[in-house]
Structure 1
Amino acid sequence: MGKAVYFICADDEFIADNRAQEIFAELAKDAVCDMSKEVVQGSAGNSADAQKICAQAIEAAATMSLFGGKKIVWLRGLNFINDANGRSKDTQAALEKMAETAAKFKPDEVAFLISACPVDKRKKAFKMLKEISEFESFESANATEACMQLLKTRAEKLGVELGYDAAEILISTVAANPRMALQELEKLASYVNFQGKITTKDVLTLVPIFGEGNFFELVSLYYEGDLEKSAAAIHRYFFTNKNASARPILTNLQRQNSMLIQIRALMDDGKLPKTDRWLPKGSLERLADEYAEVFKSDSKTAYNIFTQNPFAVGRLAPIASKTPLKKLIDNQMNFVKAFEELIKRGSNSDEQVMRELYLKA
Structure 2
Amino acid sequence: MTDLAPTIYLLYGNDEFGMAEFIQSMKQKLGDDSTIAMNFSRFNASDLVWSELESAASSMPFLASRRMIVLDQAERVQKKKETLERLLRLLDQIPPSTAFLLLERSASSKDTPASSGSTLRKWVKDHPSVSYMRAFEIPHGTGFAAWLQKRAAAEGGAIEREAAELLSEWIQEDPRLAAQELAKLLDYVDRQRPIVVGDVEQCTPYRGQANVFALVDAIGIRRGDQALMKLHQVLQEDEPGYAFAMILRQFRLILRARELMDSGLALDHTIHRSEFVVRKVASQARNFSQAEIERIFHELLAIDLRSKNGQMDLDVALDHFVATITA
Q: Which residue of 2 aligns with 1:260?
A: 254
Contact kept, 8 Å, 2:60 with 2:67, in 1: the verdict is no
Contact kept, 8 Å, 2:165 with 2:274, in 1: the verdict is no
Residue 70 of structure 2 aligns to a residue whose secondary structure is strand
Q: 1:58, CA displacement in angstroms?
A: 0.8
Distance 2:131 2:159 in 1: 31
Q: 1:237, CA displacement in angstroms?
A: 3.8
Q: 1:36, CA displacement in angstroms?
A: 4.4
Q: TM-score, normalised by structure 2?
A: 0.72
Q: 1:355, CA displacement in angstroms?
A: 2.3
Kindly tell me: are residues 164 and 36 of structure 1, through their superposed partners in 2, closer, same or farther at Cα, counting changes over 3 Å? farther
Residue 170 in structure 1 maps to residue 167 in structure 2: yes
Distance 1:28 1:146 in 2: 33
Distance 1:53 1:12 in 2: 27
Q: Which residue of 2 aligns with 1:276?
A: none
Contact kept, 8 Å, 1:70 with 1:111, in 2: the verdict is no
Contact kept, 8 Å, 2:145 with 2:164, in 1: the verdict is yes
Amino acid paired to 1:255: R
Q: Deviations over 1:233-272 (max 9, x none)?
A: 425545xxxxxx54x54444233213223434666x5958
Contact kept, 8 Å, 2:169 with 2:273, in 1: the verdict is yes
Contact kept, 8 Å, 1:159 with 1:194, in 2: the verdict is yes
Residue 69 of structure 1 aligns to a residue whose secondary structure is coil
Give the total of aligned pairs: 304
Distance 2:202 2:258 in 1: 23
Contact kept, 8 Å, 1:7 with 1:114, in 2: the verdict is yes
Q: Deviations over 1:32-69 (max 9, x none)?
A: 83454313223324xxx26345414413xx3331xx33
Q: Deviations over 1:72-99 (max 9, x none)?
A: 31415x212x3x5423233222221232
Q: Which residue of 1 aligns with 2:232?
A: 231
Q: Identity over the aligned pairs, expressed in percent? A: 16
Contact kept, 8 Å, 1:50 with 1:91, in 2: the verdict is no
Q: Which residue of 1 aligns with 2:187?
A: 190
> Which of residues 307, 317, 322 is equivalent to 1:353?
317
Q: Which residue of 1 aligns with 2:96?
A: 105
Distance 2:147 2:260 in 1: 35
Kindly tell me: are residues 14 and 221 of structure 1, through their superposed partners in 2, closer, same or farther at Cα, counting changes over 3 Å? same
Distance 2:196 2:12 in 1: 28
Kindly tell me: are residues 18 and 155 of structure 1, through their superposed partners in 2, closer, same or farther at Cα, counting changes over 3 Å? farther
Kindly tell me: are residues 207 and 36 of structure 1, through their superposed partners in 2, closer, same or farther at Cα, counting changes over 3 Å? same
> Which of residues 87, 93, 107 is equivalent to 1:95?
87
Kindly tell me: are residues 3 and 270 of structure 1, through their superposed partners in 2, closer, same or farther at Cα, counting changes over 3 Å? same
Q: CA RMSD in A?
A: 3.9
> Which of residues 23, 26, 41 is equivalent to 1:24?
26
Residue 222 in structure 1 maps to residue 215 in structure 2: yes
Q: 1:216, CA displacement in angstroms?
A: 4.1
Kindly tell me: are residues 147 and 89 of structure 1, through their superposed partners in 2, closer, same or farther at Cα, counting changes over 3 Å? farther
Distance 1:353 1:150 in 2: 41
Distance 1:8 1:194 in 2: 35
Greater helix share, 1 or 2?
Answer: 2
Distance 2:121 2:90 in 1: 11
Amino acid paired to 1:338: I
Kindly tell me: are residues 232 and 208 of structure 1, through their superposed partners in 2, closer, same or farther at Cα, counting changes over 3 Å? closer
Q: 1:356, CA displacement in angstroms?
A: 1.8
Residue 86 of structure 1 aligns to a residue whose secondary structure is helix
Amino acid paired to 1:188: L
Runs of at least 5 residues in structure 2 that lack an aligned partner in the other structure: 107-111, 219-225
Q: 1:105, CA displacement in angstroms?
A: 0.4
Q: Which residue of 1 aligns with 2:109?
A: none
Q: Deviations over 1:187-213 (max 9, x none)?
A: 33223323543345544665546xxxx
Amino acid paired to 1:155: A
Residue 42 of structure 2 aligns to a residue whose secondary structure is strand
Residue 178 of structure 2 aligns to a residue whose secondary structure is helix
Correspondences of 1:30-179 after superposition (within 5 Å) = 33-45=35-47, 49=48, 51-52=50-51, 54-59=53-58, 62-65=59-62, 68-76=63-71, 78-80=72-74, 82=75, 85-102=77-94, 104-106=95-97, 110-118=98-106, 120-121=113-114, 122-129=117-124, 131=128, 132-139=130-137, 151=148, 154-162=151-159, 166-179=163-176
Residue 170 of structure 1 aligns to a residue whose secondary structure is helix
